[in-house]
Amino acid sequence: MNAPRTNLSQIPDRRSLILDGRTWAEISLGALGENFHAIQQHVGAGVTICAVVKADGYGHGAIECALALEAEGVPWLGVTDAAEGRALRGAGIWTRILLMTGIWKGEEDGIVSHNLTPTVWETWHIERLEKAAKKQQVNLPVHLKVDTGMNRLGAKVEGLPRLCEKLAVCEHLHLEGVSTHFASAEVLDAEDAPRQTKRFEQALAKLAEYDLHPPLVHMGNSAAVSARPETWKTMVRPGILLYGYSLPILRGGEIVDGSSLPLVPVLTWKTRVLTVKDVPAGEAVGYASSYVTGKSTRIAVLPVGYADGYPRLLSDRARVIVRGEYAPVVGRVSMDLTTVDVGHIPGIAVGDEVILIGAHNGRSVDAVELARLCESVPYEILCGISQRVPRVYI
Ligand SMILES: Cc1ncc(COP(=O)(O)O)c(C=O)c1O
């Protein structure tokens, strides 16, 4: 039930939005493709890449990113659930799609008809999918998830025999893959990743006892791709790396060099100066008077706020880039507006482009910096850029 195959040239050119737009995100599909090839080169041609485009491609636009990755030859796409998978199929994407977060009762027919590949770990997953596959007369590949220590999704090693017995009597399902997920692959001296890897090896041995040797064996997220080659097996599932960010790899609480992956951030978040104010010394700026000017200065008002996903926690903390200089965010980030002090930057005018995430003139603000200020992770910053912000593909 695929829509006709789409190609990249059919992505609507929304560049005009830059001219009209108050705040927008520029997505470099070229950078996305380069990051994919860098990862492929890093893990080697023998390791299959499942490019994770869940959560609307980490805020970058799942359909556009999936089309671009498909054009670059990505063999697998990873999404959260069947709804995300169906949306990609509806856009004409034909690449294999892995549903990484289970299924809901009632979805099985759609999963089969949309040629989506479910992850299973409950006996009822297998029973219901077998029924749907039989009805549609197909042989459905499934991936089995093993819980090796995160205690979220997946079957424990001890629960595998029951699932293997269930699979053995299925005539319309076959075990194509087996997976697990790391809690903290980026912490090199933590015990959990080796423990998880050991339990995963036990799971593979248990499957072998039932003569199950799935060709796609996968554990690795971005951190494992960067720092744990022993976990790559036959497939890896990088997400954040594709979008140009690597997690800091830690040993003894210190950041150590991870991989030498040459990554390019895919997303640049921009806005424009809406208005400029001269503010005398001793005046408060914005809600709750959280910032009071120490001397007379100029304040630029930006049409971006927490409704766009620019977190309120950045109030009085973050910085932006305007005319190639850093300008501090002063006062509270509100729903639609943010104020920055531009007293030190001559010539600021209404309409000037402002970089919220991105680089210019040797200055840079990235999602890691904003995440640190919010005690969060770059994932949340990127996924949090709201639908009000048009994505412009370049
Ligand atoms: C099962 C699974 N695999 C892979 C990923 C990709 O993770 P990352 O973006 O850290 O590479 C995720 C993301 O949370 C995930 O849930």
Instruction: Choose one of 79, 99, 221, 231 to mutate for the ligand 1 pocket test, by most ligand atoms within 8 angstroms of C-beta.
Output: 221
Atom 8, ligand 1: residue with shortest CA distance: 239
pLDDT in tens, the chain (394 residues): 557 777 666 665 555 555 566 999 999 999 999 999 999 999 999 999 999 999 999 999 999 999 999 999 999 999 999 999 999 999 999 999 999 999 999 999 999 999 999 999 999 999 999 999 999 999 999 999 999 999 999 999 999 999 999 999 999 999 999 999 999 998 889 899 999 999 999 999 999 999 999 999 999 999 999 999 999 999 999 999 999 998 888 898 888 865 679 999 999 999 999 999 999 999 999 999 999 999 999 999 999 999 999 999 999 999 999 999 999 999 999 999 999 999 999 999 999 999 999 999 999 999 999 999 999 999 999 999 999 999 999 8
* C-beta atoms surrounding 80 within 10 Å: 15
Which residues are near ligand 1 (CB < 6 Å)?
Answer: 52, 100, 181, 221-222, 237-240
Residue with tokens 């990235």: 366
DSSP code, position 93: -
CA of 180 to the centre of ligand 1 (A): 10
The atom number, within ligand 1, closest to the CA of 240 reads 9
Atom of ligand 1 nearest to the CA of 247: 10
Q: Which pLDDT does position 9 carry in this prediction? A: 67
Q: How far is the CA of 231 from the centre of ligand 1 (A)?
A: 14
Give me the residues paired with residue 363 across strands: 360
CA distances 310 to 206, 264, 290, Å, are: 48, 22, 18
Which tens digit of pLDDT belongs to each residue from 206-250?
A: 999 999 999 999 999 999 999 999 999 999 999 999 999 988 888
Residue 255's pLDDT is 85
Which of 100, 147, 186 should be mutated for ligand 1, with most atoms under 8 A from CB?
100
pTM: 0.94
Question: Is residue 166 annotated as a catalytic residue, yes or no?
Answer: no
**Ligand 1 atom 9: the closest Cα is on which residue?**
239
Q: How much distance in Å is there from the Cα of 88 to the middle of ligand 1?
A: 18
- In single-letter form, the type of residue at position 374 comes to C
Cα–Cα distance for residue pair 95/90, rounded to 1 Å: 12
Name the catalytic one among 131, 134, 287, 326. 287
State which ligand 1 atom lies nearest to the alpha carbon of 238: 11
Q: In Å, what is the CA distance from 187 to each residue of 133, 208, 218, 321?
A: 41, 30, 19, 32
Q: How far is the CA of 239 from the centre of ligand 1 (A)?
A: 6
Q: Using the atom order of ligand 1, give the atom closest to the CA of residue 101.
A: 1
288 burial type by CB count under 10 A (0-12 exposed, 13-18 middle, 19+ buried): exposed
Amino acid 298: pLDDT? 98
For residues 310 and 326, is the Cβ–Cβ distance under 8 A? no
* Most ligand 1 atoms within 8 A of CB, residue of 119, 226, 237 to mutate: 237
Burial 112-123 (b: 16+ CB within 10 A, else e): bbbbbbbbbbbe
User: Is residue 54 annotated as part of the catalytic site, yes or no?
Assistant: yes
- Closest residue by Cα to atom 6, ligand 1, is 239
184 C-alpha to center of ligand 1: Å? 11
Could you tell me the distance, in angstroms and rounded to a whole number, from the CA of residue 227 to the centre of ligand 1? 15
Instruction: Please report the sign of the dihedral spanned by the C-alpha atoms of residue 160, residue 166, residue 168, residue 172.
Output: negative
Domains and CATH numbers, the chain: 29-256 (3.20.20.10), 267-393 (2.40.37.10)
pLDDT score, position 17: 52
Ligand 1, atom 13, residue with closest C-alpha: 239
Q: Which atom of ligand 1 is nearest to the CA of 50?
A: 4
Q: Catalytic one among 54, 145, 166, 206?
A: 54
Nearest atom in ligand 1 to the alpha carbon of residue 237 is 4
Measure 390 CA to ligand 1 centroid, in angstroms.
25
> Residues 38-69: pLDDT tens digits?
999 999 999 999 999 999 999 999 999 999 99
* pLDDT reported for residue 260: 73
